[in-house]
Amino acid sequence: AWRRFYNESRPHTALGDRTPREFASLAGVNPGQ
């Protein structure tokens, strides 16, 4: 459960305080594919 939170919901300072999902979306990457 913590991995999902860490990878999908938790903002990361290294990504400009974005979640990894938001960062991937902005980069044009679809992490689910």
Q: Sorting pLDDT into bands at 50, 70 and 90, what band is 31?
A: low
pLDDT score at 28: 82
Is the Cβ–Cβ distance between 8 and 21 less than 8 Å? yes
pTM of the model: 0.56
For the chain, the structural domain boundaries read 1-33
Digit-coded pLDDT (tens) for 4-19:
888 778 889 988 999 8
Q: What is the total residue count of the chain?
A: 33
Q: What are 7's two structure tokens?
A: 């990878």
**Res 2 pLDDT > 70:** yes
